Amino acid sequence: MRLKDFKVFFVLLMSVSALSQNTISGIVTNAQTQQPVANVEVYDKLTGLLTKTDASGFYEFQITKSSFTIVFFSYEFEVKELPIQVDNNMVLNVSMDELGIALSEVEITARKTKVFELSRLKDVEGTAIFAGKKTEVVLVEQSMANLATNNARQIYSQVAGLNIYQNDDAGLQLNIGGRGLDPNRTANFNTRQNGYDISADVLGYPESYYTPASEGLKEIQIIRGAASLQYGTQFGGLINFKMKEPNPSKPFELITRNTLGSNGLYTNFTSVSGTKNKWSYYGYFNYKKGDGFRPNSEFESKNTYAHIGYQFNDKTSLTGELSYLRYLAQQGGGLTDQMFEEDPYQSNRARNWFQVDWLLYNLKFDHKLSENTNFTFNAFGLNASRYSLGFRTNRVDQIDPNTERDLIKGDFKNYGFEARILSKYEVFNKASTFLLGTKFYRANNSEQQGPGSDGIGPNFELQSERFPNYPSQSKFDFPNLNVAVFGENILYVSDQFSVTPGFRFEYIKTQSEGFYKRINTDAAGNVIFEEAVEDNRDFERSFVLLGLGLSYKPTTGLEMYGNLSQNYRSVTYADININNPAFAINPNITDEKGFTADLGMRGNFKNTVSYDLGVFGLFYNGRIGFVQKGLSDGRVISERGNVGDAVLYGVESLFDFNLKKILKLNNDFSLNYFINSSFISSEYTASEQQNVKGNQVEFVPDVNIKTGLKFGYKNLLANIQYTYLSQQFTDATNSQAANISGVIGEIPNYDVMDVSLSYAYKRFKLETGINNLLDNAYFTRRATGYPGPGIIPSAPQNWYATLQIKF
C-alpha cells in the first residue's frame, strides 16, 4: 500500500470512528467535603476500564452503546454503580461517600479484587484485544506464594493445566509448560515483560533465562494458543510479566524485603517508587544467594530493574525501562534412576557451572490520537549471554575424571520494534474495535562449543590451544530476521455477543553460518582423523496464521467463549548445532505446525464462586520430540526430531469459592477454597517412526490438580495448598525404563503440600511458610543437557521467613 493510500485509509477510519459516538463527562467529588477526587477509576461493568479522573476530578469518555452500567471506584470511597441510558452527549456529576474506616494494605488489595473480577483480561486493554480468548491473570501482589524464591508451583496455582519443572530452590529460571508442551525454560510460550520480548531469540532460540523478581510484579498475564495472532506463533501462547507501577500519590516510597530460609538462603528486595509532576519512576534491586538443597549447588544472583516515565499531557506519554540480571550457579548434575533411589539429593559433579548475563532495554511511546483511537510504539533490545561449563557424559553415574570440561558459550544480540493502532468505531450502529500492528525483529546471535579448563572453578574461557584434540568443537553465527503484520477486529453483534476474527502474516529468515570439527582418536588419544566441516544454512519462509474468537455475555457474571487459532514453531538452532552426548539430532528435523481450540464458560456467581470451565484441543503436525532408536551395532540412542502428528484434548477448570459469604462471616474474616484441575488425553495419530503411533504424548500428566484453602482474620492470613500430578512420559516411545543417561524414562506421579502465613501491622509485614511440608522426595524433570543430563530432583522440605518494611 502506498503512503498516499494509507493516509486516505487512515482518514476514513477516523471518520467512521467519529460516527454515532456519545460523550459522557463529569466531575467526581467527595460527598462530605465537596472537593474533587482524583484517580477515580471509571468502568463499564461489562467491558472494563474506560478512564480515570484527573486532578480536578474531571473525567470524559465516549461510548457507542445505548445502555450500560457505569462504575466509579476508589480505594477510600464506597463503590458507586449507576445504570445509564445514552441517546446523546451527557454530563454526569457524581459524589462519592467516604468509607469512614482506615483500610490496611491487605484489606485494600482484597477489596478491589472482590469488587472487580480482575483475574481475567477485559475485551480491550491498552492497544491489545483479548475478546474470546482463554486468558488468566495471576494477581501477584495478593499472592501468598514464596515470592522471594519465585516459587512457580504456588504463584501459578490457579492457572489450569500448567506443568512446572521444580528443580530450583531460588527461582532463577522459570520452567512452565502445559497441554503437552515441554516446560524447559518456558520455550513454548512467547515471554514478555510489560509487552516486549525478553527471551534469547523469539524464533531462533526462544528460551527464557531471565525471569523478573516476583516481588516486583503486579500481575502475570497468560493467554493460551490464541496469542499467536498478536504476540507470536508459539503453541503455548503468551506470558506477559506486568511490573509494579510508580506510586501515583507520593514523590518517594521505599519498600525493603529481607528473607532467610533453608540451605543458607538469603534474599533482599528493595524498591523505590514515586511520582512528581509529570515524572514517575519505579525501580528495584534483588539479591539472592544460597547453598542449594544438594551438594555443589551454590548460587548468587543480582537483578535490577528501572522504569521512568514522562506524561506530556493526558494523551501522550513516554516510558523507558532497563533490566539487568547476572547470576552464577553451581550445578550438581543429573542422576540415574538407581542413584535417585539410593539418595535423591546426592551429587557427583563438583565442576559444573552456569552463568547468565542479561541486559534488556525498552522505550515505549503511547499516544491517544482521539478519544477512541490509541497508538503505541515499542522499541526494545537485548544484549545477553549464557555460559555452561562442566563434565557432561551420557553415563551420569561416571565419576568425573577431572580432565577438560565441555564449554558452551551463547551470546545474544537482538533488537526490534512493535507498533500498534487500536480504534473503536461503529458498523451498522454496532460497536467494533479494530487493531492493526506490525513487528520488526532482528537477531545476531552466536554459539561456540569447545574445551573448557580442567580446573574446578567457573572459568568460562575456551582452552582450544591446550586441548586441540577435544572432539566437540564448533562455532556458529545465527543472523535471523522476522517481520510480522497482525490484525484483529471485535465485531459486537449485540451488547452481549462479539465475534473477533484475526490474522498474522509472518516472514522469517533463519540463517546459520559456521563450522564444526570431526576429530577421531585412537585408544591412546592420538588424532587419526580431523576435519573442519562448514555448515551454512539459509531458511526463508512466509505464511499467514488465522484465528477466530467468540464471546457471549448474557449477564455481567457469565461469559461463554470460544477460540480457534493456528500455531507454528520454528526449529531452533539448539536443535541443530549443539553436540550433546546424551542424544542425537535427526538431520531432517523441521518446523512444527498445527492449531489450538478452546471452548468454555467463566464468570462470577453472586460474588460467591468465581469459575472458569472449558475444554480444549491441541493439534500438531510434525511434533518435535525424542524417540529411542536401535543402531546396527546393537546400541540404543535417543534421537530428537519430528516424531509425528499428535492430538491432545482435555478439560480444564478452576472454581474459587468465597466461603465467607456462604458461611455469612463478618468483615473481620476472609475464607476461600479453590480447586484447579486438568484432565488430558493425548495420542500420536501418525508417525514414520517405529513404536510411536497410538502412544501418549510426552509431558502430559492425565491428572493435574492443585487445591487450597486461604483463611484470614483482619491482617492475619494463612494459606495451605496441595498439588498432585499423575505419571507422565518424557519420550514418544513411552519408555518407562530409564537409559544410562537418565534422560529417557517416566516421571512418576508426585504430590506436594505448601503452607504459608502473613501478618501486616502498619508499615511492617511478616511472611513465613514451609514448602514441601510432607518432605516428599520426587522429581519433575529429566534434563537432556545442563543442569544434567539425567534426573534433576526437586527440593525437600524447606522454610522461609520474610520481613517487609515500607517507608
User: What one-character-per-residue DSSP string does 344-381 give?
Assistant: TT----SS-EEEEEEEEEEEEEEEEEETTEEEEEEEEE
Pairing of β 217-223 and β 238-243: antiparallel
Residue 5 has pLDDT above 70, yes or no: no
> Average pLDDT of 65-87?
82
Residue with the bigger pLDDT between 75 and 670: it is 670
The predicted structure's pLDDT at residue 58: 92
The predicted structure's pLDDT at residue 590: 87
Instruction: Please give the torsion angle defined by the CA atoms of residues 123, 124, 125 and 129, in that order, rounded to the nearest 10 degrees.
Output: 90
List the grid coordinates of 144.
Answer: 501468598
Q: Contact 212/734 with Cβ under 8 angstroms?
A: no
Residue 557 has pLDDT above 90, yes or no: no
In a domain, 136, yes or no: no
Residue with the bigger pLDDT between 84 and 382: it is 382
Q: Is 221 helix (H, G, I), strand (E, B) or coil?
A: strand
Please state, in angstroms and rounded to a whole number, the distance separating the CA atoms of residues 264 and 266: 6
* Phi/psi at 114 (5° precision): -75, -35
Grid look-up 502498619 returns 762
Q: Contact 254/246 with Cβ under 8 angstroms?
A: no
Residue 455 has pLDDT above 80, yes or no: yes
Mention every residue, 6+ apart, whose C-beta is less than 8 A from residue 10.
Answer: none
Mention every residue, 6+ apart, whose C-beta is less than 8 A from residue 751.
Answer: 722, 723, 724, 725, 774, 776
Amino acid at 742: G
Mention every residue, 6+ apart, whose C-beta is less than 8 A from residue 296.
Answer: 330, 331, 332, 333, 347, 349, 350, 352
List the grid coordinates of 43.
Answer: 468502568
Could you tell me how far CA 501 lies from the centroid of its own chain?
A: 24
Pairing of β 265-276 and β 196-197: unpaired
Instruction: Please give the torsion angle defined by the CA atoms of residues 395, 401, 403 and 404, in that order, rounded to the nearest 10 degrees.
Output: 30
Most confident option among 105-114, 551-560, 793-802: 793-802
* 89 confidence band (pLDDT: 50, 70, 90): confident
Mention every residue, 6+ apart, whose C-beta is less than 8 A from residue 511.
Answer: 477, 478, 479, 480, 536, 537, 538, 539
> Average pLDDT of 725-733?
93
> Average pLDDT of 566-574?
85
Of 101, 134, 165, at which residue does a domain stop?
Answer: 101
In a domain, 462, yes or no: yes
**Of 480, 486, 497, which Cα lies nearest the Cα of 432?**
497
In a domain, 195, yes or no: no
Please state, in angstroms and rounded to a whole number, the distance separating the CA atoms of residues 317 and 311: 4
> Percentage of the chain with pLDDT > 70?
92
Please state, in angstroms and rounded to a whole number, the distance separating the CA atoms of residues 227 and 220: 15
Question: Per the structure, how many domains does the chain have?
Answer: 2
**Of 259, 263, 309, which Cα lies nearest the Cα of 290?**
263
> Average pLDDT of 237-264?
94
Please state, in angstroms and rounded to a whole number, the distance separating the CA atoms of residues 561 and 131: 8
Please state, in angstroms and rounded to a whole number, the distance separating the CA atoms of residues 580 and 588: 17
In a domain, 389, yes or no: yes
Of 101, 131, 157, at which residue does a domain stop?
Answer: 101
Q: Contact 451/464 with Cβ under 8 angstroms?
A: yes
The predicted structure's pLDDT at residue 482: 96
Q: Is 603 helix (H, G, I), strand (E, B) or coil?
A: strand
In a domain, 197, yes or no: no
Residue 147 has pLDDT above 60, yes or no: yes
List the grid coordinates of 413.
Answer: 544480540
Q: For 48-57, 101-110, 119-128, 531-540, which range has the lowest pLDDT when averaged over its residues?
A: 101-110
pLDDT digits (tens, 9 = 90+) for 525-550: 677 778 888 888 888 999 999 999 99
* 116 confidence band (pLDDT: 50, 70, 90): very low
* 16 confidence band (pLDDT: 50, 70, 90): very low
Q: How high does pLDDT run on average in the chain?
A: 89
* 12 confidence band (pLDDT: 50, 70, 90): very low
Buried b (16+ CB within 10 A) or exposed e, 165-179: bbbbbbbbbbbbbbb
Alpha carbon separation from 273 to 103, 199, 256, 311, 454 (Å, rounded): 21, 27, 12, 16, 47
* 4 confidence band (pLDDT: 50, 70, 90): very low
The predicted structure's pLDDT at residue 47: 61
* 117 confidence band (pLDDT: 50, 70, 90): very low
In a domain, 340, yes or no: yes
Classify residue 335 by its DSSP letter. B
- Rg of the chain over Cα atoms, rounded to whole angstroms, equals 27
**Can you count the helices (H) and strands (E) in the chain?**
6, 43
User: Which H or E run contains 28?
Assistant: strand 22-30
pLDDT digits (tens, 9 = 90+) for 317-356: 999 999 999 999 999 999 999 999 999 999 999 999 999 9
In a domain, 652, yes or no: yes
Residue with the bigger pLDDT between 769 and 604: it is 769
Q: Contact 677/690 with Cβ under 8 angstroms?
A: no
Residue 18 has pLDDT above 50, yes or no: no
Of 69, 101, 133, at which residue does a domain stop?
Answer: 101
The predicted structure's pLDDT at residue 630: 66
What's the per-residue H, E or C state across 397-457?
CCCCCCCCCEEEEEEEEEEEEEEEEEEEEEECCEEEEEEEEEEEEEEEEEEEEEECCCCCC
The predicted structure's pLDDT at residue 539: 86
pLDDT digits (tens, 9 = 90+) for 633-673: 655 677 888 999 999 999 999 999 989 889 988 888 889 99
* 103 confidence band (pLDDT: 50, 70, 90): low
Structural domain of 75: 1-101
Q: Contact 594/235 with Cβ under 8 angstroms?
A: yes
Q: What is the CATH number of the domain that holds 775?
A: 2.40.170.20
**Angle at the Cα of 748 from the Cα atoms of 742 and 751, rounded to 5 degrees:** 130
In a domain, 563, yes or no: yes
Amino acid at 230: Q
> Average pLDDT of 36-50?
79
